[in-house]
């Protein structure tokens, strides 16, 4: 509380022995500036989605299921070096801007509340700080304070932005260890891989599907071990891996189907024996005949109660229309005259409920079209991503990896599957690809936009996520048809599925 390093760091200006200490406003300003920086950094972080993984959904990294596409093998240090210049330039721009507008924002918004809060905290530790300390009319801005705030802003923003960039770069690296898959060092590599595919945590599951894709493309010995691993608890390794991949792919159709169901589901009728009576709050019912006329009141209190009750009953039996308006006709005439004298006919027409609602809708639309209303829009791309690919975290990348891994394993089984386990599942894989493709394509064409998406047009229905997913399914079907199109009778593939798959694959 009473550091003596400099006048910018000391919370209190210590007075002489016969005087009382006073708060130092310079550290209060610096901490208020840090709060402003934190709010701006939070807004930029959410707006630009700095948490988005750098591997994202680029088809250049994913490549085709044949494994001919390039891989994300860039050194993390090289990625950091390539992004640091632009990042440092942005940090410098924000720091200089805040060193200029920071004092203005502090003077008009945070100065009073920050002073009162600091005074309250100081009173908790120092008895000689008076309660009534008024702010000075002129804020304590000094050129050294501005330089100090600029230097602090650069350091603080560098800490936030560079650490976030480094985390994103290193987490987005391939799940390899010394050039081998992470599960290679396990006592049971295939079992560890299957456990990762079945994991509940999205990070573990996404890494497992990515590792499966890498194994199917680059490591033929591991791929062969999957085909030969048939004596395993829970089924053969291929059966468990294909089941998890198909379940992940079928999640698109499942989520779309659940979205189309009515929101209010009919409740099952409650059986009479399941009902539990509430505890009795009043006395038992009267046992004397209820149709007999009540005895005439004898006491004064009973007479008053009877008259009040009869009046209330007669008042409640009348229809509402019989009472008329609570405003007298004369008062209505005065109100009508005053309205005609004060308001013009155009103003009276503008104040009707329909016009007021229309005006409100216009203002709301203008707000949503502005930059300030952009965070409140639910765009079509965001809407279809949350519905088809899951929320709060999208499963697009694991689904794409599952499609490519299944396609690669299926085509490689022609030469490497000595037991013929994969051949029996080829019809199911082709049918699941077709169903998912048709469901997603149909849903993207009929999904209505949200009312806040004021910039929507029909050309935006084919979003980037939808195009990547449909393209991946199309490439998978093309390779499956080319590999197994000549064995439809032997594998039990229906002619209808082959025709549809060829039509989709082009």
Asked if 410 contacts 422 with a C-beta cutoff of 8 angstroms, the reply is yes
The whole-number pLDDT of residue 444 equals: 94
* Global pTM value: 0.73
The whole-number pLDDT of residue 278 equals: 58
Q: Closest by alpha carbon to 150, among 214, 116, 101? A: 101
The whole-number pLDDT of residue 215 equals: 94
The whole-number pLDDT of residue 19 equals: 60
Count of alpha carbons within 13 angstroms of residue 250, beta-carbon side: 11
The whole-number pLDDT of residue 402 equals: 95
The whole-number pLDDT of residue 295 equals: 67
The whole-number pLDDT of residue 68 equals: 42
β-strand 176-177 against 22-23: which pairing, if any?
unpaired
Q: What is the pLDDT of residues 138-167, one digit of tens each?
A: 666 778 888 888 999 999 999 999 999 998
Strand partners, 177: 180
The whole-number pLDDT of residue 264 equals: 52
| Cβ-Cβ contacts under 8 Å for 383 (sequence gap 6 or more) | 447, 449, 450, 453
- Give dist(CA 81, CA 331) in Å, integer: 80
The whole-number pLDDT of residue 189 equals: 93
The whole-number pLDDT of residue 133 equals: 67
Q: What is the pLDDT of residues 106-119, one digit of tens each?
A: 888 888 888 888 87
Residue numbers of the chain with a pLDDT score lower than 70:
1-21, 53-74, 126-133, 136-140, 263-295, 300, 308, 311-327, 334
Q: Is the dihedral of CA 339, 341, 345, 347 positive or negative?
A: negative
Q: Closest by alpha carbon to 63, among 213, 179, 182? A: 213
The whole-number pLDDT of residue 16 equals: 59
């Amino acid at each position: 509380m009473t550091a003596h390093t400099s006048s910018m760091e000391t919370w209190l200006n210590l007075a002489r022995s016969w005087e009382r200490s006073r708060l130092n406003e310079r550290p209060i300003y610096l901490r208020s500036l840090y709060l402003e920086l934190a709010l701006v950094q939070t807004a930029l972080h959410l707006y630009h989605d700095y948490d988005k993984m750098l591997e994202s959904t680029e088809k250049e990294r994913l490549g085709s299921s044949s494994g001919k596409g390039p891989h994300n093998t860039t050194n993390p240090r090289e990625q950091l070096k390539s992004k640091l210049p632009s990042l440092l330039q942005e940090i410098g721009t924000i720091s200089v801007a805040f060193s200029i507008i920071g004092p203005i924002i502090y003077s008009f918004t945070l100065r009073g509340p920050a002073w009162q809060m600091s005074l309250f905290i100081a009173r908790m530790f120092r008895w000689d700080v008076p309660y009534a300390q008024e702010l000075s009319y002129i804020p304590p801005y000094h050129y050294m304070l501005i330089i100090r705030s600029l230097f602090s802003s650069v350091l603080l923003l560098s800490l936030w932005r560079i650490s976030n960039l480094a985390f994103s770069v290193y987490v987005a690296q391939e799940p390899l260890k010394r050039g081998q898959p992470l599960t290679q060092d396990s006592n049971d590599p295939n079992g560890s891989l299957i456990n990762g595919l079945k994991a509940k945590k999205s990070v573990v599951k996404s890494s497992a599907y990515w590792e499966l894709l890498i194994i199917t493309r680059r490591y033929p010995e591991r791929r062969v071990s999957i085909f030969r691993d048939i004596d395993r608890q829970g089924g053969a390794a291929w059966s468990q891996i294909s089941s998890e991949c198909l379940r992940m792919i079928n999640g698109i159709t499942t989520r779309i189907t659940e979205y189309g169901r009515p929101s209010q589901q009919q409740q099952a009728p409650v059986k009479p024996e399941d009902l539990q009576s509430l505890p009795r709050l009043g006395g038992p019912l009267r046992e004397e005949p209820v149709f007999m006329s009540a005895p005439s009141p004898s006491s004064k209190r009973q007479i008053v109660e009877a008259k009040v009750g009869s009046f209330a009953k007669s008042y409640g039996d009348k229809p509402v229309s019989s009472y008329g308006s609570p405003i007298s006709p004369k008062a209505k005439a005065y109100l009508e005259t005053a309205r005609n004298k004060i308001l013009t006919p155009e103003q009276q027409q503008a104040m009707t409920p329909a016009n007021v609602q229309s005006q409100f809708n216009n203002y709301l639309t203008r707000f949503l079209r502005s930059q300030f209303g952009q965070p409140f829009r639910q765009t079509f791309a965001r809407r279809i991503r949350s519905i088809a690919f899951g929320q709060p975290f999208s499963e697009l990348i694991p689904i794409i990896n599952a499609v490519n891994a299944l396609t690669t394993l299926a085509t490689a089984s022609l030469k490497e599957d000595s037991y013929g386990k994969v051949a029996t599942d080829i019809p199911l894989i082709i049918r699941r690809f077709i169903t998912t493709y048709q469901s997603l394509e149909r849903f993207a064409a009929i999904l209505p936009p949200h009312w806040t998406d004021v910039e929507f047009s029909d050309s935006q229905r084919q979003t980037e996520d939808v195009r990547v997913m449909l393209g991946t399914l199309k490439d998978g079907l093309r390779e499956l048809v080319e590999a197994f199109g000549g064995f439809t009778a032997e594998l039990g593939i229906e002619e209808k599925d082959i025709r549809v798959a060829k039509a989709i694959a082009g």
